[in-house]
Amino acid sequence: MADTSLLLQKSYTLIQQAALNDRNGQYSIALNLYTNGLEGLMSALKLEKNDRVIQTLKIKITEYFSRAEQLKEIIKKGYVAPPQMNQSCHDCVTSPSTSTSHYQPPQPVYKPTAPSAPPPSQYHPIPTNTEELILPSVPTFSPLPSVPTQTPPPFNPSATNISSSSLAKELISSKKIENGSIGNSYESLFGDRLIGCTWIKVEDPYIRTRHQIDNFVKLIELVISKCIFKDLNSGNVKLQKPSTKFKIDLTTSTESQQQEDELKLTFYQLREQISSQYNIIFSYQFSNTIHDRSIECSNGYLIKLGRGLDFYQKPINNNNGLFSQVSTFNQDLKPCLECNIDIFKK
């Protein structure tokens, strides 16, 4: 733990401040602090050698990650902090009354005050000479709505006025990939089918391991080059956040709760990067019953992947990790497993 003690101390302070702001209703400040604290904790997780500390970090990171996701929804819906039992009523204002049946008008809504630093004894310090690790917990209360809001339906790229089962699908192309063949990159197989998309929906039960996640990132890179920065080959494109949002929805599966927790952390980091740099809205869900492997595109194309995104043979690493294998960064040079790629158009 000595290797990560300084990093944990800094992250602990950020999380402590985040929880304090969270309890005082300063949700935007709390979200920023949770995010910064999570980055430090995840960096510490990669360096930590102590199994007990690693397990504690995974549990708490999952807790903070979940709370950060809740705060995003709270901020979006304009919720405010619920009244605290020991707060006097001279600080309250009355929320607007509403005729909606599931709200109870009027309710006292306490105006959040600037958080003050808690006394040192309020939190457990991070031990420096023991294997135990104690980190702050997040608030568990549910915020009150400041005004009645209508919750928008969750993003569903497949939603149309006509049921998907009634839509005619025409087979555009079908390719059988032979075992050991090369020249089968995502771009050469279906890159042009992505042009004009505003969202894609990916179903693949095997986005779990490092190389499978790398495959998914390669797909995202293809989306960026085909749908977001369309003139990359001109050499005059500058990296700046696009004004138009692009949506990517992933459905995958896991083998255990631990694997799911680890994937949540990975997807959290991925989502933050592609959102801030490329204005990509990335959502995901886990399903124990998913079997199909496909990419559904907003422009009407449906790409059926016989083996999912992971149809490349595993590289034989015989250099003791001293350098990356040839074909690591060029999918066209990767030998493939036998599979079929079918493309339909609605």
Per cent of the chain over pLDDT 70 is: 70
Look at strands 144-145 and 246-252 and give their pairing. Answer: unpaired
> What pLDDT is recorded for position 6?
83
- Cis omega before residue 127 (within 30°)? no
Alpha-carbon span 311 to 232, nearest angstrom: 27
Tell me the chain's radius of gyration from C-alpha atoms.
24
Tokens of 325: 């294998």
* The dihedral formed by the CA atoms of 207, 209, 213 and 216, expressed in degrees to the nearest 10: -40
Report whether pLDDT(17) > 50: yes
Q: Dihedral of CA 48/49/53/56: which sign?
A: positive
Q: Which of 174, 172, 268, 147 is nearest to 213 (CA)?
A: 268
For residue 22, give Cα distances in angstroms to 80, 87, 202.
Answer: 10, 16, 35
150-160 pLDDT, tens digit per residue, is 444 444 444 43
Q: What residues pair up with 302 in beta bridges, in sequence order?
A: 296, 344
Specify the higher pLDDT residue, 257 or 335.
335
Q: H helices within 24-50, ranges in order? A: 27-47
* CATH code reported for the domain at 2-145: 1.20.58.80
Top mean-pLDDT range of 157-171, 212-226, 311-325: 212-226
> What pLDDT is recorded for position 330?
92
Report whether pLDDT(176) > 80: yes
Specify the higher pLDDT residue, 49 or 298.
298
Q: What is the mean pLDDT of the chain?
A: 78
For residue 111, give Cα distances in angstroms to 80, 179, 224.
Answer: 8, 65, 43
> What pLDDT is recorded for position 320?
66
Report whether pLDDT(250) > 50: yes
Q: What are the structural domain ranges in the chain?
A: 2-145, 164-315+327-345
Tokens of 75: 């901020």
291-308 pLDDT, tens digit per residue, is 889 999 999 999 999 999
What fold is seen in the domain 164-315+327-345? Endonuclease; Chain A (3.30.870)
Report whether pLDDT(112) > 80: no
Alpha-carbon span 301 to 196, nearest angstrom: 11
> Counting beta carbons within 10 angstroms of the beta carbon of residue 252, is it exposed (0 to 12), middle (13 to 18) or buried (19 or more)?
buried
Alpha-carbon span 291 to 125, nearest angstrom: 47
Q: What is the DSSP letter of 315?
A: P
Give 193's Cβ-side CA count (13 Å radius). Answer: 23
Top mean-pLDDT range of 30-44, 59-73, 251-265: 251-265
Specify the higher pLDDT residue, 231 or 99.
231
Report whether pLDDT(233) > 90: no
Instruction: Name, in order, each residue with C-beta under 8 angstroms of 133's C-beta and a sequence gap of 6 or more.
Output: 1, 8, 52, 53, 56, 57, 126, 127
Q: Which of 295, 320, 317, 315 is nearest to 306 (CA)?
A: 295
> What pLDDT is recorded for position 319?
63
- 339 within 8 A of 175, measured Cβ to Cβ: no
Specify the higher pLDDT residue, 39 or 105.
39
Q: Which residue has the tokens 């969750």?
A: 154
| Band of pLDDT at residue 195, cut at 50, 70 and 90 | very high
Domains 2-145 and 164-315+327-345 share a fold: no
| Band of pLDDT at residue 280, cut at 50, 70 and 90 | very high
- Determine which of 27-41, 240-254, 331-345 has the lowest per-residue pLDDT on average: 27-41
- 204 within 8 A of 305, measured Cβ to Cβ: yes
- Determine which of 63-67, 106-110, 295-299 has the lowest per-residue pLDDT on average: 106-110
